[in-house]
Amino acid sequence: MKLFGGLFFFIVIAIVVFGWLSSGTGSNTAGGETPYTPSVTEIVKPVKQHYEPVAERHFKKPLVEPVSLANIGRTDVSWGAVGNDTAGDIYVGLAESYGDPRSAYLVKINAMGQSAVLGDVLTELKREGIGSATQSQGKIHSQIVPARDGYIYFSSFDEAGETEVRLPDYGGHLWRVNSASGQWEHLLATPEALIAVNTDGHYVYALGYWGHVLYQYNTQTGEVRKNEVGSVPGHVSRHFLVDGKGHVYVPKISQSGINTEPTAMLVEFDQNLNPVTEYPLPDYKSKNMGRYRGIIAYTNMRNGDVYFTLGQGYLLQIQANESGAEKLINHGLFNPAGEANIPSLFTIDGEQFVMGVSRLSDADAEWLIYEKISGATVNYTMPELNDFLFFGTEVKDASGNFYLVGQDRSSRKPKVVKLTFPE
């Protein structure tokens, strides 16, 4: 057994070395190097992803460090609402699933692991005199994303009154918070629930359901545009994508007849919300589309590419500088063992390696490492995550540590953990 473990370790190291040599990067690669430089007509994400040279320590499973959270309101979970600002501080949205009215809270975690509540949605709506006195806004579900104006952006919504064909009673709201002062600012109210947010640094985008309605907010002028992309009743993707050129990608789900299978296309939009091209997504499917979560994780690479996972665990890649059939690549199931829930993706170097946490049905959680050049995946069991309903994608602090958010299944309370790679 020890011999097999040693052999396996050397195989992993060989993959790493091969990736370095093939990509032309090595030990002189500078951590925090500026990602992908576009032409002057393009918009690129401005936030450094804290890339660093890959080291041997990154090819062991990470250590799990719980982040202490006080009891906050009636919050019981974070549905993947996590992000960072340009300084590397971490933000988490906590949801209230029960009670009336419900309100979601925003929490900031500093480099020392200390958490502070920055406020809650209902209090901010009342402060700005928006909406009815009886409304609920129980969820911050979106990623919390930094734009180049120094603000972080996110959305809130509530599910009260919704059905597969009826919008929720209180719709959604787009927010930004000054990362220095913690001051909230309301930007937009929508009839749709706003479940996801992404940015290229200049424009902030939000995805609403039902119908996959894409909103665009101009951070410089405040102008708002929207495009109704389309989806079948009861289905919404948990994420959408923005590549290094500032192009946006949203699943479009259509059904030609009541007894036909829905078909999915990934629609590419430019910065004016004009459709560019549609790409087939044959693996974007489920027997019950109302429960299918669509795109559930993503991570952005240095060259502008985006890797993402679908609900069954397929790993796909958008090549920002390609077009046609070469634009979208399906790398197959990320977990070699089969279909799995993989609601988080990260990258250390932004070039050769994509990592994430996976859970197969009735099995231990696993840490996956995908090597781009060889197409090989290494996996480690992580039983320390077994009692954790986890989400979270791409988010790192200033030291390059990863974060997962979700719920402790035993206590039914929100849970945040930091994934570290000690020397």
pLDDT tens digit string along 63-117? 999 999 999 999 999 999 999 998 889 999 999 999 999 999 999 999 888 999 9
How many angstroms separate the CA atoms of 270 and 145, rounded? 20
What per-residue confidence (pLDDT) applies to 140?
A: 98
The number of distinct structural domains making up the chain is: 1
User: Could you tell me the CATH number of the domain that includes residue 321?
Assistant: 2.130.10.10
What would the two tokens of residue 188 be? 């937009």
pLDDT tens digit string along 324-363? 999 999 999 999 999 999 999 999 999 999 999 999 988 9
Low-confidence spans in the chain with pLDDT less than 70: 1-49
How many angstroms separate the CA atoms of 210 and 191, rounded? 10
What per-residue confidence (pLDDT) applies to 23?
A: 38
Of 190, 127, 124, 108, the closest CA to residue 157 belongs to 190
Q: Computed over its alpha carbons, how large is the radius of gyration of the chain?
A: 21
How many angstroms separate the CA atoms of 138 and 413, rounded? 15
What per-residue confidence (pLDDT) applies to 51?
A: 84
Of 225, 284, 288, the closest CA to residue 252 belongs to 284
Q: 75 lies in which domain range?
A: 2-420
What per-residue confidence (pLDDT) applies to 48?
A: 52
Q: Is-contact 345 308, C-beta < 8 A?
A: yes
Residue 377, classed as helix, strand or coil, is strand
